[in-house]
Amino acid sequence: MVNDTTRLLGLDGLVAERVELDAAGVPVVDLSTGCEQARCCPQCGQRAVRVKQWTTTRPRDLTVAGRAVRLRWRKRRWYCATLACPRKSFTEQVAQVPARSRLTARLRQAAGAAVADRGRTIVQAARDHGLSWSIVAAAFTAHAAAVLPTEPEPVAVLGIDEVRRGKPHWIWDERAGSWTVTADRWHVGFCDLSGGQGLLAQVEGRTTTTVTGWLAARSPAWREQVTAVAIDMCTVFKAAIRQVLPHALLVVDHFHVVQLGNRAVTEVRRRVTLTQRGRRGRSTDPEWRIRNRLTRSAARMSGKHVDRLADILDNLPAKIGAPILTAWNAKEDLLDLLATARTRPDRELVHGLLHRFYNRCAASDLPELHRLATTIETWWPQINAFLTTGITNAGSEGTNRVIKTVARDAYGFRNPENQRLRTRTATTRRHRGHPNPA
């Protein structure tokens, strides 16, 4: 008979007989078997009629109404009625409490879901549920295998980016007579930038073979649906995409273009300070105090701050202020060019801004600007694809941030496979219906 206590406990197949408090005030629930299927032999399926003995088990379960509960299940061991059955006897079991299990199935599932869906570390989930590290780790692996798809769904815009995992591991190869890498410090992630799948996969290594291997493993229909791929300025990714996805539009993320421009300004500032002052920059140097302002966009600064920046550079010695001002103007020309993205610019406007940037770099004698202009010229088709489509690799960069956060919370991973599994569940929470881990 199912009573209200049984309904509140929520363990199918078990009936709550009575509830009492132990010496510590913890509720102790006495259970009995209420499922007739539990009398059937798990091997031959024959219903048993003769009891061999009674036994009591104490499986651990989740808290009920916020209180810890101790379960005490008195059940029977039956003789199998089939003489030819190799299973001579068996103990009653239900779906939530399998045979020889000291934990309920829902306790294991909750511990695994806490790590996969709620942003807990395995150690914290083990403490919250009163379990050991190994049990929670196994529960998380089983939960991740159930919720993560074996194959990613087709994507329209694919993002590829690398993230550093840790130190590489080497081993001496006697046959080759050289050191070979057994664990690479780089992982390459594939992200869905047009849908909500998040991190599709993560592979070890940052080589063309690594990227082409994962892409080639997808079906031809999956690869044909990829219309664009967003990457940073990495020749490895560029060669892999041209080899496996020749039809896809290759887009370079503008963040890395801005990063190159700021790096050129910083290199010019450091070089002229070192050559003219004979030392590194100090807090007493005007150009050192404005180092952060030099890397900001003038469009996002107030007019008085821009004027003050120009006045500081004009008042510096010509051999220091003039090169820095030239590099800063070239960087701003590059930012003006990138600002035309998502505005449907016409070809004349784009090439006019590009020509202004090239002229400023060519008119200067700064090797940093010459190198910057060469890089922009090499990657211009991919940069122009960003201006026309507005596709960025921000989704991949955000995924890398989550990957680093997960690794930092876990104090690092010694097993790369465990790290990839943890990061995939963390970056696909929104797609799986768990947008807020809290």
Give per-residue pLDDT as tens, 209-219: 999 999 999 99
CB 25 within 8 Å of CB 107: no
| pLDDT surpassing 60 at residue 1 | no
User: Residue 110 and residue 138: Cα distance in Å, rounded?
Assistant: 12
The CA distances from residue 119 to 4, 11, 238, 418, in Å, are 34, 27, 34, 15
Closest by Cα among 281, 274, 230, 278 to 256: 230
The CA distances from residue 82 to 89, 91, 170, 276, 306, in Å, are 10, 15, 59, 97, 91
Task: Say what the pLDDT of residue 265 is.
Answer: 97
**Which residues share a beta bridge with 72?**
30
Which residue has tokens 């922009």?
376
Average model confidence (pLDDT) across the chain: 91
Q: What does the pLDDT average to over 66-94? A: 91
Task: Say what the pLDDT of residue 182 is.
Answer: 66
Residues 6+ apart with CB under 8 A from 7: none
Task: Name the CA radius of gyration of the chain, rounded.
Answer: 32
Q: What does the pLDDT average to over 302-327? A: 94
Residues 30-41: tens digit of each pLDDT: 999 988 899 999
> For residue 183, what pLDDT band results from cuts at 50, 70 and 90?
low
Residues 264-302: tens digit of each pLDDT: 999 999 999 999 999 999 999 999 999 999 999 999 999
> For residue 311, what pLDDT band results from cuts at 50, 70 and 90?
very high
> For residue 364, what pLDDT band results from cuts at 50, 70 and 90?
very high
| Domain map (residue ranges) of the chain | 1-102, 104-147, 159-253+393-427, 254-389
Dihedral sign of CA atoms 91, 59, 116, 118 in order: positive
Task: Say what the pLDDT of residue 65 is.
Answer: 80
Task: Say what the pLDDT of residue 216 is.
Answer: 94
Residues 6-15: tens digit of each pLDDT: 888 888 889 9
Task: Say what the pLDDT of residue 376 is.
Answer: 96
Task: Say what the pLDDT of residue 184 is.
Answer: 64
Mapped onto helix, strand or coil, the DSSP state of residue 413 is coil
User: Residue 385 and residue 338: Cα distance in Å, rounded?
Assistant: 11
Residues 6+ apart with CB under 8 A from 427: 191, 198, 199, 399, 402, 403
Is the entire prediction scored with pTM above 0.85?
A: no
Closest by Cα among 201, 259, 258, 250 to 420: 201
Q: Taking the chain, what is the end-to-end CA distance rounded to the nearest angstrom? A: 39
Please, what CATH class does the domain formed by 159-253+393-427 belong to?
A: alpha beta
Query: CA-CA-CA-CA torsion for 315, 320, 324, 329, nearest 10 degrees?
Result: 50
Higher pLDDT, 232 or 164: 232
